[in-house]
Amino acid sequence: MMNKKSILFSVVAVAIFITIISSASYAFFSTYVQTKNENNNNLIGGTAKLSTTFDDGETINFTNMIPGDSITKTFSLENKGQDIHYKIVINDLINEFQSYQDITYILKENNTLLVEDKVFPNIVDNNELSTTRTLKNGEKNTYTLTITYQNTDNDQAPDMGKTISGKIFIQEV
């Protein structure tokens, strides 16, 4: 007959074993990042089921803009596993513009308009660029994000030299 110490030891050993197996499984599915080309123009990141390819990196850096300027970022998501639900967000967001409503964006998925002329996020708490999307196994979507500094009749002089920066990020939902 087993005593209380043996039972306690067995329970602790099983708990440690389960923790080790869970950690190893999680590590297998954790995100990896790989860069291609000498100047890191392509960044590929993903999990065991989702890979992301940015044509010119995931970083947005919009500095010394004048009204009417815009930048475009193109990236693709490819799913090689279970269906995934995600949002496109901006991480590490910096938006110094006082007239933040003059910065708008358009987001297209496979050349189909998803978001039109929406105000670009101006605070960290509001960093979502898309609603929840679904990517099924074997599918690939290409996204085009265009950010524009609108030319308005308002005084835009206070925003001279201001910066918008951040990183496009795929957030699993």
How much is the pLDDT for 17? 62
Q: pTM above the 0.85 mark?
A: no
State the pLDDT confidence band at 8, using cuts at 50, 70 and 90: low
Domain boundary assignment for the chain: 31-172
Mean pLDDT of 63-76: 93
Give pLDDT tens digits for 109-154.
Answer: 999 999 988 999 988 778 999 999 999 999 999 999 999 999 999 9
- Nearest alpha-carbon partner for 28 in 13, 47, 11, 46: 47
Mean pLDDT of 12-27: 60
Higher pLDDT among residues 170 and 48, named by residue: 170
Strand residue runs (E) in 55-139:
59-63, 70-79, 84-95, 103-109, 112-119, 133-135
How much is the pLDDT for 104? 95
Residue 13 pLDDT exceeds 80: no
Give the domain 31-172 fold.
Answer: Jelly Rolls (2.60.120)
